[in-house]
Amino acid sequence: MQKISFIQKMKQTEKTEVNRIAFRGGAYSLLMTGIVLAILVVVNIFVSILPSTVTKYDISSTKLYSITSNTKVVVNALKKDVTIYWIVQADEEDAVIENLLAKYESLSDHVKVVKKNPDVYPTFTDQYTSEDVPNNSLIVECGEQSRYISYSDIYISEQNMMTQSYETSFDGEGAITSAIDYVVSEDLPQLYILEGHGEAELSEVFASQIEKENIETTTFSLLNEDSVPEEADCVLIYAPTSDISAEEKDLLAEYVTDGGKLMVLAGPVQDGSLDNLYSLLSDYGVEKAEGVVIEADRDHYAFQQPYILMPDIAESDITASLIEENYYAIMPIAQGLKVSDSSGAVTELLTTSDEAFSKTAGYDLTTYEKEDGDIDGPFATAVSVSCGNDGRIVWFASSNFLDDMYNSYSSGANLNLGMNTLSSLMGESEAVAIRSKSLNYNYLTIDESTASLLKMMMIGGFPLIFFVVGITVIVRRRRRQNEQV
CA dihedral for 268, 269, 272, 276, sign (positive or negative): negative
- Count: domains in the chain: 3
What's the pLDDT at 442? 44
Q: Which of 410, 428, 446 is the last residue of a domain?
A: 428
Residue among 378, 379, 329 nearest 355 (CA) = 378
What's the pLDDT at 17? 60
Does residue 399 sit within a domain?
yes
Does residue 65 sit within a domain?
yes
| Rg of the chain over all Cα atoms, to the nearest angstrom | 35
**CA 481/CA 266 separation, integer angstroms:** 92
What's the pLDDT at 154? 86
Does residue 353 sit within a domain?
yes
Helices marked H in 121-202: 151-154, 172-184
Same domain, 138 and 210: no
Same domain, 26 and 65: no
Cβ distance 418 to 171 under 8 Å? no
Same domain, 346 and 236: yes
Same domain, 200 and 312: yes
**CA 469/CA 465 separation, integer angstroms:** 6
CB atoms inside a 10 Å sphere around CB 162: 10
End-to-end Cα distance, the chain: 26
CB atoms inside a 10 Å sphere around CB 118: 17
pLDDT averaged per 10 residues, the chain (length 485):
55 60 65 80 72 53 64 86 92 88 90 92 91 92 90 76 64 86 85 94 89 88 89 94 94 94 93 91 92 91 89 90 86 93 88 93 89 91 92 94 88 88 77 53 48 76 80 80 68
CATH of residue 263's domain is 3.40.50.880
Q: What amino acid occupies position 192?
A: Y
What residues make up the domain containing 6?
1-49
Q: Which of 153, 170, 187 is the last residue of a domain?
A: 187
Residue among 203, 416, 397 nearest 326 (CA) = 416
Strands 380-388 and 346-351: antiparallel
Same domain, 319 and 225: yes
Same domain, 202 and 295: yes
Does residue 252 sit within a domain?
yes
Does residue 451 sit within a domain?
no
**CA 115/CA 12 separation, integer angstroms:** 72
Element (H, E) at 467: helix 462-484
Same domain, 76 and 104: yes
Same domain, 347 and 198: yes
User: Quick one: DSSP state of residue 294?
Assistant: E
Same domain, 216 and 175: no
Same domain, 271 and 407: yes
Q: Which of 406, 428, 450 is the last residue of a domain?
A: 428
Strand, coil or helix: what is 414?
A: helix
Same domain, 87 and 163: yes
CATH of residue 93's domain is 3.40.30.10
List, in order, residues 6 or more apart from 214 with CB less than 8 Å away.
Answer: 178, 181, 182, 185, 188, 189, 429, 431
Does residue 211 sit within a domain?
yes
Does residue 226 sit within a domain?
yes
254 backbone φψ class: left, alpha, beta (φ>0; ψ -120 to 50): alpha
Residue among 102, 109, 226 nearest 172 (CA) = 102
Q: What amino acid occupies position 185?
A: S
**CA 5/CA 8 separation, integer angstroms:** 5
**CA 196/CA 192 separation, integer angstroms:** 13
DSSP string of 357-369, one letter each residue:
EEETTGGG---SS
Q: Is the overall model pTM greater than 0.85, yes or no?
A: no
Does residue 30 sit within a domain?
yes
- Residue 234 main-chain phi, psi, to 5 deg: -160, 145
CB atoms inside a 10 Å sphere around CB 342: 8
Cβ distance 176 to 100 under 8 Å? yes
Same domain, 97 and 132: yes
What's the pLDDT at 96? 87
